[in-house]
């Protein structure tokens, strides 16, 4: 959907008004308070034991963060320039909240699992670690269809590895030693933290304007850092992300690498952006749509080949060894199972429109597939007619496109929403610096329209 420039500016103004209320603390308070309620409900009502364990710990972390923000608001009311209520303090609270709501539950569950608890990890943790063991022993992370069929019926689902070959790298430590720090979630967290740190560093190194040192430059830099903080919050402390990292975790490094790719695109490093999204694509298919949109962005800057070299080259390089070792196993795990043609079906069945259509209507799967294809065609037409010329627009297209795809896929998970939520929240942090005080916004320079 395309909105004209005045409508887009009004939407940005409404969001900025909410985002900057009380120096950003008002939205922080709402985020932490709602997250605390979500964690409590998860601890009490979830039918998944790893989720319940996460909620019991994360609820305390979110509650402490809520109380800290209330104290910051009181300090700011007494003195609007109070340092403990400023942006650096908000960054500190965000970091500590991520530790308390994601890393601490993750480490606790990893230690308990190493001590013998079998209910302290989701199935994807076991799948990735088994893939790492197979990669080390056989040169491929995948079991062939005959080997999967030979497993007991209750274990056939865990025999599938519906990821790209690179994901098995996170399972290699477990193949070498059975202890808490070789839990694949620990390494998911390391990869996520590293990619996000590189993304933040890349965006912060960009000067605000050509005329550095002016008061207006400082204000623009503060707005950029505030937008960056909000983007980091969406990728770390948002419950859907913190819960996923602590209990499963495989989506978080993929997301973080996509965000890094967009940050590198925003700072005019198309080759490195291609490498970052290529690494993500070597882990999971969810990064491939982001890679395609980034390649189109690269074409508008005469850098399409540089983006494509990494974005396409790295996933192909990861696939080739597995293809040479066992082509049938690769096809069974990476293509047939995700498309619903494996020996068992995927348990991903969140009640989104695509799933409801597929299960409630005659020929529902065909209808859902047709809607999904139609959405893809519409996005392709949009890219062909008006290719994204900025990282901001690229992030918006990726975010809305993935949101539509998740809604229409016949088999999907609620947790996949972390991708569009984080991408859309990350977009404001990608605004390019301007060269003159009165320069228009990047979206206004590129057709005066934006995606909505």
Query: pLDDT in tens for each of the 452 residues of the chain?
Result: 444 445 555 556 666 778 888 889 999 999 999 999 999 999 999 999 999 999 999 999 999 999 999 999 999 988 887 888 899 999 999 999 999 999 999 999 999 999 999 999 999 999 999 999 999 999 999 999 999 999 998 899 999 999 999 999 999 999 999 999 999 999 999 999 999 999 999 998 866 544 444 555 566 778 889 999 999 999 999 999 999 999 999 999 999 999 999 999 999 999 999 999 999 999 999 999 999 999 999 999 999 999 999 999 999 999 999 999 999 999 999 988 887 778 888 776 778 888 788 778 888 778 888 888 999 999 999 999 999 999 999 999 999 999 999 998 887 788 899 999 999 999 999 987 653 333 343 333 333 333 33
Q: How far apart are CA 368 and CA 155, in angstroms?
A: 29
Cα–Cα separations (whole angstroms), residue 106 to 33, 58, 95:
21, 10, 15
Q: How far apart are CA 130 and CA 405, in angstroms?
A: 29
Q: How far apart are CA 128 and CA 248, in angstroms?
A: 10
Q: How far apart are CA 81 and CA 446, in angstroms?
A: 37
Please state the length of the chain. Answer: 452
The two tokens of residue 324 are 């040479």
Q: How far apart are CA 345 and CA 156, in angstroms?
A: 10
The kind and range of the H/E element at 451 are strand 449-451
* CB-based burial label for 360 (10 Å; 0-12, 13-18, 19+): exposed
């Amino acid at each position: 959907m395309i909105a004209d420039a005045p409508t887009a500016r009004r939407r940005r103004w409404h969001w900025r008004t909410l985002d900057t209320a009380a120096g950003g603390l008002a939205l922080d308070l709402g985020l932490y308070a709602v997250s605390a309620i979500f964690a409590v409900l998860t601890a009490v009502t979830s039918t998944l034991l790893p989720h319940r364990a996460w909620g019991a710990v994360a609820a305390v972390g979110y509650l402490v963060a809520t109380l800290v923000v209330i104290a910051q608001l009181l300090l700011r009311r007494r003195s609007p320039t109070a340092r403990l209520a400023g942006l650096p303090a908000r960054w500190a609270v965000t970091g500590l909240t991520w530790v308390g709501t994601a890393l601490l539950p993750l480490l606790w569950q990893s230690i308990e699992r190493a001590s013998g608890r079998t209910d302290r990890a989701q199935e994807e943790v076991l799948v990735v670690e088994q893939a790492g063991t197979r990669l080390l022993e056989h040169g491929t992370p995948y079991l062939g269809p005959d080997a999967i069929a030979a497993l007991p019926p209750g274990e056939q689902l865990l025999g599938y590895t519906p990821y790209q070959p690179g994901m098995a790298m996170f399972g290699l430590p477990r193949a070498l030693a059975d202890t808490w720090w070789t839990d694949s979630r620990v390494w998911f967290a390391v990869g996520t933290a590293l990619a996000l740190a590189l993304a933040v560093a890349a965006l912060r190194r960009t000067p605000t304007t050509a005329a550095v040192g002016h008061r207006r430059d400082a204000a623009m830099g503060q707005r950029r850092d505030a937008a960056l903080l909000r983007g980091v919050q969406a990728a770390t402390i948002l419950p859907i992300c913190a819960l996923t990292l602590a209990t499963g975790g495989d989506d978080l490094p993929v997301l973080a690498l996509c965000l890094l790719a967009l940050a590198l695109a925003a700072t005019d490093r198309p080759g490195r952006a291609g490498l970052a999204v290529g690494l993500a694509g070597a882990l999971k298919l969810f990064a491939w749509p982001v890679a395609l949109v980034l390649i189109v962005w690269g074409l508008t800057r005469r850098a399409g080949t540089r983006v494509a070299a990494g974005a396409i080259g790295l996933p192909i390089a990861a696939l080739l060894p597995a293809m040479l070792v066992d082509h049938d196993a690769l096809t069974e795990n990476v293509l047939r199972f995700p498309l619903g043609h494996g020996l068992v079906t995927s348990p991903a069945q969140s009640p989104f429109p695509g799933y409801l259509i597929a299960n409630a209507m005659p020929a529902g799967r065909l209808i859902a597939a047709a809607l999904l294809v139609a959405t893809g065609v519409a996005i392709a037409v949009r890219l062909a007619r008006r290719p994204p010329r900025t990282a901001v627009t690229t992030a918006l297209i990726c975010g809305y496109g993935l949101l539509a795809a998740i809604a229409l896929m016949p088999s999907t998970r609620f947790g996949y929403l972390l991708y569009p939520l984080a991408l859309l929240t990350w977009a404001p942090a990608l605004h390019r610096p301007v060269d003159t005080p009165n320069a228009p916004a990047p979206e206004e320079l590129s057709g005066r329209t934006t995606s909505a």
